[in-house]
Structure 1
Amino acid sequence: MKIILISLDTLRASRLGGYGYGKRTSPHMDAIARDGVLFERAYAADIPTEVAHTGVFTGKIGLTTGVVSHGSDLTQLPKSVEWLPNLLRAAGFTTGAVDNLYQLKEWFARGYNHYINTVGGNRWIDGRTINEHAMPWIEQHKDESFFLFLHYWDAHTPYLPPESYVPEFYDAAKDPYDPANLSMEPAYNHAAYPFFKHHHYDLVGPVTDSGYYDALYDAEIRYLDDRLKELDDHLAKLGIQEETLLVLFGDHGESLTEHDIYWDHCGLYEPTVHVPVIMRWPGRIRPGRRVPGLVQQADLLPTLLEAVRRESPAGIASAKLEDPAGLDGKSLWEAIDGTAEGTRDTIYLSECAWQAARGIRNDRYKLIVTYDPGPFDRPPRELYDLGSDPLETVNLAETMPDIADALEGQLQAFVAGKLAGRPDPMQEQLALRGLPFRRRIEQILNAAGMTWEQWRRNPDRAVFDHAAAGKQRI
């Protein structure tokens, strides 16, 4: 038995054909879904990258593990916490990864016989690089039962797809640098601009058309899709495609200007927390299955363990793969087999990087409670009727206070139950260190001779650019 678990970093569900997108970003991922199962309403309970992946590999949300913040020096994951690669290696699987999450936290390298760290001189990683490492590894271990984790970053900023991929998604008659187009001004004059100037805007160029950035994102997804096809064709060539359980998931999505978020993955809104989850396992998963109910990333660990128990491959001690205690995730197999619509009625959401907030989402409503808005302007509560307002444009918190109060009470009870008397790690982070990404902006501003308070009063990119260029205090 082979298991390949693939993280598609920053991949927004609604930008794939299988989730209803009209442009041809994902022909191969859509084909994988047609041959397997697609989860229509899968959610990242914790965002962004560090906390999302910790949930995948532990089967536990951040309130259970204590890992709620991305990029925090306060965060630790005890080695006593059960970890998916450790479990599979102990049962007899050869375990490998092509990944660089080790650069964030050491625990992401736990449990692997072979960990190939793709860190390089650039902060972005081309999917071709992942395949250049993964495909020889697969060929070397094709006669073994193995677990392989692959982490593709192509959809993450900065969006720098090969030029040949852009024309399909951007009208050649348009000029992305047209000075008369002012659609980029809200992004360039946003409080988060100093960070994105360095990590994104300067790398792409002086774009004036915000639609061009959206096109670049689509082009990156199409490029990623081609890399996945390349990998999948390799499995077929080696004759192991039929015995491989292939799992694709987004760790979080991406906001493309919605809610004052410009090509980034913060905010507990649908563009960021609604993620793709697609699985294919020939002969074991009925082709064309679409699961309509709510599921979350923490469900992947118990799903994979149950898959091994169902298969009982030779040489693998399936008895060692009982579910660890205290999981928040639930096996997806009832939903895959068609005897359930999902794994839960309610999803609880959390973030603590650019801003600190928690949310609750049920079949109809979503409530977001913000504790620290960071560089954004946010009301303390946001209530959305997702049935009538799927784009989350009308905040009903003040006009429907009874529903907002009931959902907030449910959220607070859930948090208290999970903490069971322990300190709240989000509140500890805010009290002791503040928001990790605000600190990143402050470092950039300080280098330009500016303070956070000065910048928040006047987030004008010309002011910052002048200060940064001259390194003079204003």
Structure 2
Amino acid sequence: MKIILISLDTLRASRLSSYGYGKATSPHMDRIASEGVLFERAFAADIPTEVAHTGIFTGKVGLTTGVVSHGSELTQLPKSVEWLPALLRSAGFTTAAVDNLYQLKEWFARGYKYYLNSVGGNRWIDGRTVNDMALPWIEQHQEEDFFLFLHYWDAHTPYLPPQSYIPQFYDQSKDPFDPRNKSMEQAYNHSAYPFFKHHHYDLVGPVTDSDYYDSLYDAEIRYLDDCLKELDEHLLKLGIQEDTLMILFGDHGESLTEHDIYWDHCGLYEPTVHVPLIMRWPGRISAGRRVPGLVQQVDLLPTLLEAVRAEAPADIDSSKLADPAGLDGQSLWKSIRGEEDGTHEIIYLSECAWQAARGIRTERYKLICTYDSGPFNRPARELYDLLVDPAETVNLADKEPELADLLEGQLNDWTAAKLSGNKDPMERQLEEKGLPFRRRIEQILDAAGMSWEEWSRDPDRERFDQASRSHD
């Protein structure tokens, strides 16, 4: 038995053809979905990367593990918390990862016999890097029962796809650097500009057309799709595709200018929290199944453990793979078999990086409560009717206060139940350290000889650019 769990970092569900997108970004992922099961409404309950992956490997949301923030020095995951790769290794699987999350927190390397750190000299890691490490490892271990975690970063900023992928997504009669085009002005004048100038804009060039950035994102997905095709063809060539349970998931999505968020993943809006989830296991999962109900990433751990218990080869000790206590996730197998349409009636959402907020999403409504808006302008409460307003453009919180109060009460009750009298880790983060990504901006401003207070009073892009040049 082989399991390949694939994180497609920053991949937004609505940008895949199989999720209704009109452009051919994902032909091979669409094929994998047609050969297995696609979850139409899968959600990242905790964003961004650190908290999302912690939830996936523990089966527990951030308020259960205490990991609610990204890049915070306050965060620790006790070694007593059961961890998916460690569970599988204890049962007899050969465990491996091609990943670089160890650079963020040590616990991401737990449980692996082989940890192939994909970190390099540049922040940007493309699918070629991952495949060059993963494919030889698979060939060397093809006779073993293995669990392999692969982490692809292609859809994450900076968007730097191979040039040959861009023309199919961007009108070649247009000039992305035409100074007459002013569609980038809002992004360039956003208060988070110093961070994105340093990590994104300067690497792509003086783009003036915001459509070009959207096209680069699409091109990255198309390139990623080809990398996944290469991986899949390698499994077929080795004769192990039929024996492999493959899971593709987005750890979070990406906002492409919606809600004043420019090519980044913050905010508890659908572009960032609605993620793709696709599974294929020939002979065990019926082809072409689409699950319409609500599911979330923490459902993956109990799903995988149930799969192993049901299909464990003779050399795997499935008695060591009982579900850990206190899981927030539920197995997806009833939904996969068509016995249910999802695992949750309500999804609770959380973020604490650029801004601090929690949300509650039902089949129809979403309420977002913001506690610290960071570099954004956010109302304290946002209520959206997703049935009539799927783009979340009309805030109903003031027009329907009773509904907003009801949902906020549910959110607060759930939070209190999870905390069981303990201090809220989000509250602690805000009190002791503040938002982690504010510190990132402060470091960039400091290098330019500017302070956060000065910048927040007057976020003038030209003044920052001049200050940066004078300190180079």
TM-score range, shorter chain: over 0.9
Q: How does 1:323-334 map to 2 (within 5 A)?
A: 323-334=323-334
- 1:178-232 alpha-carbon deviations (Å, 9 max, x no partner): 1110000000000000000010000000000000000000000000000000000
Q: How does 1:241-320 map to 2 (within 5 A)?
A: 241-320=241-320
Distance 1:356 1:83 in 2: 26
Distance 1:314 1:175 in 2: 61
Distance 1:371 1:443 in 2: 23
SS of the residue 1:357 aligns to: strand
2:90 maps to what in 1? 90
The answer to whether residue 366 in structure 2 is matched with residue 371 in structure 1 is: no
Q: CA deviation at 1:264?
A: 0.3
SS of the residue 2:174 aligns to: coil
SS of the residue 2:150 aligns to: strand
Q: How does 1:146-161 map to 2 (within 5 A)?
A: 146-161=146-161
- 1:64-101 alpha-carbon deviations (Å, 9 max, x no partner): 00000000000000000000000000000000000000
1:397 maps to what in 2? 397
Distance 1:170 1:121 in 2: 30
RMSD after superposition:
0.7
SS of the residue 1:378 aligns to: coil
Q: CA deviation at 1:457?
A: 2.2
Runs of 4+ in 1 over 3 A off after TM superposition: none
What is the identity, as a one-letter code, of the residue corresponding to 1:239?
A: G
1:12 maps to what in 2? 12
Distance 2:454 2:359 in 1: 31
Identity of aligned residues (%): 78
The answer to whether residue 224 in structure 2 is matched with residue 235 in structure 1 is: no
2:106 maps to what in 1? 106
- 1:267-294 alpha-carbon deviations (Å, 9 max, x no partner): 0000000000000000000000000000
Q: CA deviation at 1:314?
A: 2.0
Q: How does 1:115-154 map to 2 (within 5 A)?
A: 115-154=115-154
Distance 2:151 2:443 in 1: 29
What is the identity, as a one-letter code, of the residue corresponding to 2:81?
A: V
1:219 maps to what in 2? 219
The answer to whether residue 332 in structure 2 is matched with residue 336 in structure 1 is: no
SS of the residue 1:245 aligns to: strand
What is the identity, as a one-letter code, of the residue corresponding to 1:149?
A: F
Q: CA deviation at 1:122?
A: 0.5
The answer to whether residue 384 in structure 2 is matched with residue 384 in structure 1 is: yes
What is the identity, as a one-letter code, of the residue corresponding to 2:77?
A: L
The answer to whether residue 453 in structure 2 is matched with residue 460 in structure 1 is: no
1:419 maps to what in 2? 419
Q: CA deviation at 1:312?
A: 2.1
1:41 maps to what in 2? 41
- 1:396-420 alpha-carbon deviations (Å, 9 max, x no partner): 0000100100000000000000000
1:65 maps to what in 2? 65
SS of the residue 2:111 aligns to: coil
TM-score, reference length from structure 2: 0.99
Q: CA deviation at 1:471?
A: 3.6
How many residue pairs get matched? Answer: 472
2:435 maps to what in 1? 435
SS of the residue 1:31 aligns to: helix
What is the identity, as a one-letter code, of the residue corresponding to 1:185?
A: E
Q: CA deviation at 1:108?
A: 0.2
Q: CA deviation at 1:444?
A: 1.1
- 1:120-145 alpha-carbon deviations (Å, 9 max, x no partner): 11001010110111011111111110
Distance 2:13 2:324 in 1: 29
Q: CA deviation at 1:340?
A: 0.4
What is the identity, as a one-letter code, of the residue corresponding to 1:363?
A: E
TM-score, reference length from structure 1: 0.99
Distance 1:440 1:223 in 2: 29
What is the identity, as a one-letter code, of the residue corresponding to 2:165?
A: Y
Distance 1:243 1:303 in 2: 17
1:179 maps to what in 2? 179
